[in-house]
Structure 1
Amino acid sequence: MTEAGVEALFTRSDGSYAFARWGRPIVPVVFGVEEETLSVFKGAIEAVVTLADHRMAETDPELGANLLIFFCTAWSELRWVPNLDRLIAGFDGLLTRLEEAEANQYRVFRFDEAGAIRACFVLIRMDAHLQAVPAETLALSQAVQMMLLWSDRAFTDVSPLAVVGEGRVILKPEIAEVVRAAYDPVMPAAAGDASHALRLAARLGRAQ
């Protein structure tokens, strides 16, 4: 992974550079799935959090839970979720845009005063494509995408996952290195300048 490659992971489609990592322990809650899938998702989140040497907790003192994952089969179903419109600004307009784009996933981040991630809301519509994806693959993909504020186009063409052995999926080594380096205590919790990518790239392979 080169400096240019790292920079691309956090450069948004409007050309701006935006990086953020979690500034507090992660407390996940998953809605709309069976118990078996719930355990798969929590296991994937725990694996990525452990990779980053970050922390999970039973509760967030401010929000209770700060990583909320909602599954649905149609975006309109989310309009019936109590208080979701209070958690996500412009909620009705967002659902309309997702419906028009026929999107199957969306992430909304909230940030603290230092710019670090304080909450994340993950919306997943199980269309035909996602229904064909194994639960382990979907869970790991979502876990890595909520762990950092990636570019809105970071994984549109290339998956962050790799298939190894008998269909088992793992994070690609270069993506795992970026996650580890991003959570190095000497690195800032948030950055808006591309010079951050140079510092991040310099730590790849050293953050173990």
Structure 2
Amino acid sequence: MQDTSLSPDAVSALFTRTDGQFLFARWGRPIVPVIFGVTEETIPVLKGAIEAVVALADHKMAETDPELGANLMVFFVRDWSELTETPNLDRMIPDLGPLVDRLQTVGANQYRIFRFDEDGGIKACFVFLRMDAQLASLDAETLALTQMVQSVLLWSDAAFTEQSALAKTPGGRVVLRPEIGALIRAAYDPVLPPASEDASHALRLFARMAAAQ
């Protein structure tokens, strides 16, 4: 059987940003999702992926966040300019105009913004997806699972650029790579802090993964 486990260095790399900073964070409160810009029949697929990843992490969802109402907001657009036309979004994202300009300039098709509690845990995540040909070529389940995996932890900005968090089974079904699933479970171990800037945290994650095998 192929060994799909991650080494301590591989775990560390998934949370080490391109500027060399190690930065880890998980959600510190129940996740309350809201999705904009998709058809009614697509929403259950997206929420199903969210529920699956939250269950994998042994985390919680809720009907409402007492401070924010919804704290995981997913926006689907055809053009980045649509964001500046979304009512009140500029109040939640103060630098929305310059951000939209930057996304248009680099031709990005996705972007995530995280907000954090005082202890460093994630308290909100805004996911912006521009449905270009690349994203439109993905089926709804694959797109939803990919986005939720990337929103459930504060990964490195370089994580998954060389290898996707997902894999295909022999039958052609798209699933989460087992080692990434194991890492997400370890990251939500209540013994561990919700956030860390210390690279030794990767060793603690690795130890939790090894103990669970």
TM range (shorter): over 0.9
Instruction: Identify the residue that residue 96 of structure 1 maps to in structure 2.
Output: 101
Instruction: Identify the residue that residue 62 of structure 1 maps to in structure 2.
Output: 67
Any conservation in 2 of the 1:108–1:120 contact (CA below 8 Å)?
A: yes
Q: How does 1:17-56 map to 2 (within 5 A)?
A: 17-56=22-61
Structure 2 unmatched ranges of 5 or more? 1-5
SS at match of 1:197: helix
**Cα gap change, 1:28/1:207 in structure 2, threshold over 3 Å: closer, same or farther?**
farther
SS at match of 2:113: strand
Name the TM-score, length of structure 2 as normaliser: 0.96
Instruction: Identify the residue that residue 189 of structure 1 maps to in structure 2.
Output: 194
Matched residues in 1 for 2:111 and 2:72: separation? 13
Match status 1:9 vs 2:37: no
SS at match of 1:100: helix
Match status 1:176 vs 2:187: no
Please report the RMSD computed on the Cα atoms of aligned residues, expressed in angstroms.
1.0
The CA deviation at 1:205 is 4.0
Match status 1:107 vs 2:118: no
SS at match of 1:86: helix
Deviations 1:77-114 (A, max 9, x none): 11110111111131111111110110000000000000
**Cα gap change, 1:41/1:205 in structure 2, threshold over 3 Å: closer, same or farther?**
farther
Instruction: Identify the residue that residue 167 of structure 1 maps to in structure 2.
Output: 172
Instruction: Identify the residue that residue 78 of structure 2 maps to in structure 1.
Output: 73
Any conservation in 2 of the 1:177–1:205 contact (CA below 8 Å)?
A: no
Matched residues in 1 for 2:38 and 2:168: separation? 24
Instruction: Identify the residue that residue 138 of structure 1 maps to in structure 2.
Output: 143
Matched residues in 2 for 1:120 and 1:38: separation? 18
SS at match of 2:203: helix
Matched residues in 1 for 2:104 and 2:58: separation? 37
Number of residues paired by the alignment?
208
- After the TM superposition, list the runs of 4 or more consecutive aligned residues in structure 1 that deviate by more than 4 angstroms: none
Q: How does 1:115-130 map to 2 (within 5 A)?
A: 115-130=120-135
- Is the deviation greater in 28-37 or in 158-167? 158-167
Structure 1 unmatched ranges of 5 or more? none
SS at match of 1:166: coil
The CA deviation at 1:166 is 3.1
Aligned AA for 1:130?
L
The CA deviation at 1:167 is 2.2
Name the TM-score, length of structure 1 as normaliser: 0.98
Instruction: Identify the residue that residue 82 of structure 1 maps to in structure 2.
Output: 87
The CA deviation at 1:130 is 0.6
Instruction: Identify the residue that residue 3 of structure 2 maps to in structure 1.
Output: none
